[in-house]
Structure 1
Amino acid sequence: MQELELKIPPVVLVMIFAFTMWLLAQLVPPLAWPVIWGWILAAAFTVAGIVIALSGVLAFRRANTTVDPRVPQQTSSLVIRGIYRYSRNPMYLGFLLLLTAWACYLMSLAAFALLPLFMLYMNRFQIASEERFLLQKFGEDYQAYAKQVRRWL
């Protein structure tokens, strides 16, 4: 399964999951909550997701390191400031929140069911590989950071 590691750009993966969520929502009756609640929750999760993901991108830009997770060898520094004090993967957390917003908008229990699958995929095929590289490159500094800050939140 290593052939899947770092192959699909996370943004593309989010689009694949979003499309699949939409397809499932067409097959399953919507949740029985008022539409306005779906919209309100979707808006709140969207704002949170965008803010968190962009905070991660900006922290990487300030540190002059790559944002492209498919090429971890281009990493020039270990970013542990800003949003990275709370999450080791704020960009992925932001993507998860955006998918949560989409599930709220779709008002679909089937769409919500895909959220844990997104996390499992990211943990196995994206984050685990990145963490191996960071541990190899930054050693004890990364190990200490990983002990202090959770993977997602």
Structure 2
Amino acid sequence: MNAYRAKPLSFPWPPLLYGAAVLLALVLSRLFPIPVSHGHSWMPWLTGGGLILLAVWLDLWAMKTLLDRHTAVLPNRCATCLVTCGPFRFTRNPIYLGYTLLMIGLGLMMLNPWFFIMAIAAVAVTTLFAIRNEERHLLSRFGFEFEIYCRHTTRWI
């Protein structure tokens, strides 16, 4: 049996990585504030709120799709089937994309550039340490079917 077949991750790291990125953005904004000229405009707040709503909707849609297909939602559980419908038609990682959009939305609403910087860092760390392991797991479980899916669907957007 392939070592990657049992579980993609030993612990559900991605939610914790994004949570740590949010906390780090808040701490860095206190320690090293980046001045932002906002002109008292409502546009960043409205755009940020829209991105947050989109992020929550995308995460809920992805989770519902996984639950409807009777497969794992948590990234440290074994996948029972390859889900290629719902938001997974457009991106292989809609939940992580939702987390990223949430961070960008918070950054816009709070006028805090550290959220954008930490969102990029969270994407990089999640890709290196979680997504690659998940993809190896899915490749070992579903083989050629997963390869075809990867050719037609991007990792992020």
- Give the alignment's TM-score, normalised by structure 1: 0.89
Post-superposition offset of 1:30: 3.6
Query: Which range moved further: 17-26 or 118-127?
Result: 17-26
Q: Secondary structure at the match of 1:20?
A: helix
Assess, with a 3 A threshold, how the Cα gap between structure 1 residues 35 and 22 changes in structure 2: closer, same or farther. farther
Report what 1:84 is aligned to: 88
> Corresponding residue for 2:49?
43
Q: Take 2:116 and 2:35, find their aligned partners in 1: how far apart are those partners?
A: 11
Aligned counterpart in structure 2 of residue 54 of structure 1, from 50, 60, 66: 60
Establish whether residue 68 from structure 1 lines up as the match of residue 36 from structure 2.
Answer: no
Q: CA deviation at 1:6?
A: 5.1
Name the SS of the counterpart of 2:61 in structure 1.
Answer: helix
Determine which structure has the larger helix proportion and give its number.
1
Pick one of 97, 111, 133 that aligns with 1:129. Answer: 133
Q: What letter matches 1:25 in structure 2?
A: S
> Any idea what the Cα deviations from partners look like across 1:14-64, whole Å, max 9, x if unmatched?
211111111122221341123522311220110110111111101100000
Distance of 2:35 and 2:110 partners within structure 1: 7
Q: 1:19 aligns with which of 18, 23, 44?
A: 23
The range that moved more, 134-143 or 24-33, is: 24-33
CA, structure 1 residues 66+11, in 2 after alignment: closer, same or farther (shift >3 Å)?
Answer: same
Give the 4+ runs in structure 1 shifted more than 6 A.
none
Task: Report what 2:36 is aligned to.
Answer: 31
Unpaired segments ≥5 residues, structure 2: 1-8
User: Over the residues paired in the alignment, what is the CA RMSD in angstroms?
Assistant: 1.5
Looking at structure 2, the residues matched to 21 and 150 of structure 1 have their Cα atoms a distance apart, in angstroms, of 27
User: Cα distance, 1:9 vs. partner?
Assistant: 3.0
Aligned to 2:5: none
| Pairwise CA distance, 1:12 | 2.0
Percent of aligned pairs with the same residue? 23
> Unmatched 5+ residue regions in structure 1?
none
For residues 95-116 of structure 1, the C-alpha deviation after alignment (integer angstroms, 9 at most, x for no partner) is: 0000111111221223311121
